[in-house]
């Protein structure tokens, strides 16, 4: 899903994201379609949560490099560390609100995975 949503997030210069679900009866995994949210934030409570389905993880993209006022920049000019998980991203994966794994799309195009149980941050593409 990040391969689809990350370019859209960069183009819109907004964060986008969704949740990863598992049906406990079948073991099958599902992912929600991306929702666009803030310039430098994504609120996972925006994502609908089907009844009877486990939330096992979440994904989001950071949009483009830029300034707090939404002016786009190159990587060097960005006021944010958009190519990395924020402390808030890691805290979400370490808590119990969105499952234990967070996936991230970055302005560089790199996709990352953070495991809240092991604290491992891995590039996945
Ligand atoms: Zn983030």
Q: Hey, where are the domains in the chain?
A: 2-123
CB 38 within 8 A of CB 15: yes
Separation in Å, CA 71 to CA 77, 80, 88 = 10, 12, 23
CB 88 within 8 A of CB 103: no
Intervals of the chain under pLDDT 70: none
| pLDDT of the residue at 113 | 98
104 Cα–ligand 1 center, Å: 7
69 Cα–ligand 1 center, Å: 17
pTM above 0.85, yes or no: yes
82 Cα–ligand 1 center, Å: 7
59 burial class (0-12, 13-18, 19+ CB within 10 angstroms)? buried
């Amino acid at each position: 899903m990040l391969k689809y949503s990350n370019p859209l997030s960069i183009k819109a210069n907004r964060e986008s994201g969704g949740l990863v679900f598992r049906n406990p009866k079948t073991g099958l995994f599902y992912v929600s379609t991306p929702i666009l949210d803030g310039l430098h934030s994504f609120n996972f409570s925006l994502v609908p949560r089907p009844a009877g389905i486990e939330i096992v993880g979440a994904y989001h993209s950071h949009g483009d490099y830029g300034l707090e006022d939404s002016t786009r920049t190159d990587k060097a000019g960005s006021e944010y560390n958009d190519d990395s998980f924020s402390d808030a991203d890691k805290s979400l994966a370490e808590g119990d609100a969105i499952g234990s794994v967070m996936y991230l799309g970055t302005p560089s195009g790199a996709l990352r995975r953070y495991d809240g149980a092991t604290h491992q941050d891995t590039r996945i593409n």
